[in-house]
Structure formats: C-alpha cells, structure tokens
Copies of this chain bind each other. A is one copy, B any other.
Amino acid sequence: MNAKLKKITAATMILMTSLVLASCGGHSSSSKNYTTTGSGSGNYQGVIQGGRYKTSKARGINVSQNDNQYNLKSFENGLTQVSKRVFSPKNYIFQEGQYLNSDTIENWLGRKTKDNPAGLNPAEGKKSDPNPIYVQQIEEQDYMENSGNSMKLRGMTIGIGINSEYNYKKKTDGPSYTKKISDAEVKRQGEIAAAKVLKRVRKKAGVGNVPIVIALYKQAPDDSLVGGSFYAYSKNSGSTISSWHKLNYKTVVLPKASGTTSSTGSASQTDSDSFSNFKSQIQSFFPNLSGVTAQAQYNNGQLDGMHITVTTQFYSQSEITSFTQYIARAANKYLPNGIPIDIRIQSDSEMQAIVYRDSGSDTFRTHILTSY
C-alpha cells in the first residue's frame, strides 16, 4: 500500500464508516411485525410496524403550537440532539411518542381552569394584565430496544418549550402587547412544569421505571429568524426530578441585524468575519446582488454548525452549475472548519442546488437539482 493510497484511505475512513453504517442499518425480517427505517450516520433507526411508519399518538399537534416555525424545527431537532447524549443511536431505536396522545398534550398546554385541571399554564387573570402562557410545546420521544419479536420501551425523552415572551391583546381587535419573560422566570417555569410532567408521565401505563429525560427549551420570539434552544435536561429514574444538567446552546442569525441579538445571543467576531468574507466573495461573483444569510448554532461558546441560504436570480443552468462550484470553493476557503454546514442555493424560492459538509467530513459535496 503506497503512501498516497494510505493517505486517501485514512481520509476516507470517516466517510466510509458512515456509508457502511448506512448500508448495514435496519435489517428487515419478514417473520417480525417490527422493522426499522435503517439509519444514516449517527442517526436513530425508526420503528416500522406492519410495513408502516409508527407515527406519534400526538401527531400534528406540535405544528399548531408555534407561530414561528423555526421554533418547531429547532425544538424537534434539538430534542433529538439531547436524546443522543443519553440514549446512544448505536443501542437504541427511535419511536415517535406513544404514551401522550393529542388530547393529553392539548390539555397540558392549556390554562388551568375548572374544565381543564391538567393545564400547566396559569389562569388568565385580568384581561388588561393577563398571566403569560409559559408552556408552549411538549413533545415525547420513545427509545426502544429489540426484544424477540417486538420492541421494548427502554427510555423516554420529553421536551418542554417555555416562552421568552408573551403576546396578548387587552381587547379583541385591539393593539398587541408583549411581555418579556426573563431568563430566570423561563428557568423557574420550566422546572415547575417539568416536575408535574415527570410525575404524570411516570404514572402512564407501560412506562414503568424506564429513565425519563426531561429537556427544557427557551422559545425564540415570534419574529426571530432562528429558533430557540435547549438550556437544561435531567435524567430521572423516579417520579421527582433528580438534578438539572445545564446546556449552553445559542442560535444566532448572520449577518448581524442591529438590535435583535438579545434573545438569541450573538456570533463570535471571528465567525462573523468569516461569514462576511464568504458573503462578499459570493456577492461580487455574480452581477446580480444575491442574498446571503445564515443561522449558526453555538454549543458552549463554540460554533457547532451553520445553515446558509443564498438567493440569486439565475439565467441558465450553466450559471447554476458554475455558481455552485464557486460556492463550494469559497465555502472551503472562508467558512469555519470542522463543523457541519449546508448552503442552499435558490432562485425564486425554488432550490437549485445544495452544497454541504457533513459532521466529521472535511469535504463539501455539491448536488445540483436539474431536470430532464
């Protein structure tokens, strides 16, 4: 084996690991009613029952809980990230929540009233100065293991999203008011809700004594261009919260918009500069000005990943091809190393190409969306 080949082999082992995993994932067997979806690198396999994906008992309810869809996506993706800390995708199979159904979650998200004693949110109080809705969304994830011809529940994660502001009207059709909810209050309300949720979930038939992870998420404001983030989780074997582990995620939008950094944090100067260089490189390349924006996530102060969107009008397929190649080069040159990044290239809100680097890879891949 010569030196060059060795180098190539070393460089691709990470890549290969994911390919091999992908091709090994999910052995289907006709004798079992349960199979799995197969897994990509580092992702969970999902449960298929009788040939169909086993959907959540509370399916659809989360969509209606968020005026800002970024909060929904980041909540769901973040919840899976938290789960991976406790339930490794190597050992556990993912199942959509089966123990909390739509009615249950709807009641819990409501205000506490005579008709709805299970409501986690306080009664409205004075119309002119109402109590905030604190608990905005709840989602259950189940973690399973194969057990003979069936799947057994081995763990559960429940995410709870707490609002960082409350929008209300004193009169129907009147002006809108906003109450900011402090970080201390978000923390306090999250812990109150968590304690109640844990007690209730532990009592559900079939849950038994599996570890229940409760993860707390701070919602971004409705006008944010990025979702909120998880700030704490606890892993519990009983019916009371054992202890909280702090999470230090921050999500930011680039380029920095003046005056909108407070609730989501801001990027490091280095990262912000890298992005600016990338952006100006892209914008000088084509005669038309193109929009270049990014969402970035920090974990413990370190940049963790980016989603970049480039919007430009294209006049031909060859322009799209050339621009995509150029962006891959510019990304490699200007954007931070060692983190997953994707760049969506679109015109007229239709995606034309994608450039991305997976976690653990040092190469940007490109795929152009063409047509016959």
List chain A positions with a Cβ less than 8 A from chain B: 1, 5, 8-9, 11-12, 15-16, 19-20, 22-23, 25-26, 37-40, 43-46, 48, 51-53, 55-56, 59-60, 62-63, 70, 73-74, 76-77, 80, 94, 96, 139, 141, 226-227, 229, 251, 284-287, 295-297, 305, 307, 315-319, 321-326, 328-329, 332, 342, 344, 351, 354, 356, 363-367, 369-372
Contact = CB atoms under 8 A, between A and B. Distances in A.
| 3 tightest A-B CB contacts, nearest first | A46-B322, A76-B317, A73-B371
Contact of A52 (B40, B286, B328): B286
A74 B370 CA distance: 8
Nearest to A4: B20
A329 B56 contact: no
A315 B305 CA distance: 24
A26 B56 contact: no
B370 A325 contact: no
A60 B286 CA distance: 14
Contacts of A22: 328, 363-364, 366
Given A96-B316, A96-B318, A351-B351, 18 more contacts: A37-B322, A38-B329, A40-B328, A43-B325, A52-B287, A53-B322, A53-B326, A55-B315, A60-B315, A62-B315, A76-B318, A80-B317, A94-B318, A141-B318, A307-B370, A307-B371, A342-B369, A365-B367
Q: Is the interface of A mostly helix, strand, loop or mixed?
A: mixed
Contacts of A356: 367
A15 B363 CA distance: 12
Contacts of A16: 8, 11-12
Contact of A325 (B5, B9, B45): B45
A59 B40 CA distance: 41
Given A48-B326, A329-B37, A43 B286 contact: no
Contact of A15 (B12, B52, B141): B12
Contact of A55 (B51, B52, B287, B366): B287
Given A52-B287, A329-B26, A77 B371 contact: yes
B285 A23 contact: no
A15 B18 CA distance: 14
A275 to B, nearest CB: 14
A284 B62 CA distance: 24
A5 B8 CA distance: 12
A6 to B, nearest CB: 9
A351 B53 CA distance: 20
Contacts of A23: 332, 363
B43 A321 contact: yes
